[in-house]
């Protein structure tokens, strides 16, 4: 059983929802990333989503775009991010790690080479934002050859046929984008999220995680009532941006946010 499947199965037994924090690897500088990953686990994270810095991140709002720019300033590469996961795995063999990014760096590295290196380092899943399922067969085949879950996005505008197609390709979990917009937007409609999750569950038994627009403990608790996972990103990356020169403060503030979310979700 994969780490992702084991994570969700264990949470289901205790009637809990997964908390999935996102940070951009190498932001504000490469040395903090692994420390932050461990701190997030200690603060209640069940799975980590690690962003691969990219120069043209079309799904990301200004907060995460800026995070990519800070990381790229330090020349953080896809291979460098894989190395961070390998370092994390030296002392944590249990927490699933999903890489979130765009296709270009994977294309440059090569599907097979990337999948092999990621698997060896301990990556469990990859969410490639800009590859549609209709064009993903070669990439998905490489992922599955090395036991990596291909994770796909479903949006509020996805049709029933589209949802069915995505669910047939995906494994690990489904990532539902809770709003029409980019990361960090603040117009979360929990009732609409609940309705869409019910629709998605007609086509798959995979867990459904919800991200985009979840920026505080109250929102996390509301979404956790209907989803299998809550993904929080921009609210954390904002702390990195605000305290770039103080790694300890970044770690403390992100830990506090996640602890509050975990407490609200479990209440």
Measure CA of the first residue to CA of the last residue in the chain; give whole Å. Answer: 29
Place of tokens 């291979």: 79
Between CA 73 and CA 68 the distance in angstroms is: 8
Rg (CA), the chain: 17
Cβ pair 123, 3 in contact under 8 A: no
User: Who's near 161: CB < 8 A, 6+ residues apart?
Assistant: none
The residues facing 51 across adjacent strands are 24, 100
Whether 195 is a known active-site residue: answer: no
Give the integer Cα–Cα distance in Å for 238 and 22. 11
Annotated catalytic residue, options 9, 27, 60, 134: 60
Q: Is 87 a catalytic residue?
A: no
Q: How far apart are CA 59 and CA 101, in angstroms?
A: 10
CA 218 remoteness from chain centre: 20
The residues annotated with a catalytic role in the active site are 49, 60
């Amino acid at each position: 059983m994969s780490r992702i499947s084991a994570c969700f199965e264990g949470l289901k037994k205790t009637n809990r929802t997964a908390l999935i924090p996102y940070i951009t690897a190498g932001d504000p500088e490469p040395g903090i990333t692994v420390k932050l990953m461990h701190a997030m686990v200690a603060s209640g994270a069940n799975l980590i989503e690690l962003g691969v810095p990219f120069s043209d991140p079309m799904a990301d709002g200004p907060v995460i775009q800026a995070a990519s720019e800070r990381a790229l300033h330090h020349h953080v590469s896809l291979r460098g991010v894989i190395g961070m996961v390998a370092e994390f795995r030296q002392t944590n063999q249990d927490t699933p790690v999903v890489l979130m990014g765009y296709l270009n760096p994977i294309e440059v590295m090569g599907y097979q080479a990337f999948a092999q290196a990621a698997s060896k380092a301990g990556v469990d899943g990859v969410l490639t934002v800009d590859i549609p399922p209709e064009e993903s067969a070669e990439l998905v085949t490489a992922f599955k050859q090395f036991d990596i879950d291909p994770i796909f996005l479903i949006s509020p505008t996805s049709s029933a046929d589209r949802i069915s197609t995505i669910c047939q390709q995906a494994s690990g979990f489904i990532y539902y984008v809770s709003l029409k917009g980019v990361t960090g937007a603040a117009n979360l409609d929990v009732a609409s999220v609940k309705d869409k999750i019910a629709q998605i569950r007609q086509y798959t038994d995979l867990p459904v995680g919800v991200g985009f627009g979840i920026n505080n403990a109250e929102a996390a608790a509301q979404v956790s009532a209907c989803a299998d996972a809550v993904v929080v990103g921009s609210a954390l990356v904002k702390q990195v941006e605000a305290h770039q020169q103080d790694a300890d403060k970044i770690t403390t503030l992100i830990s506090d946010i996640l602890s509050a979310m975990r407490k609200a979700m479990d209440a």
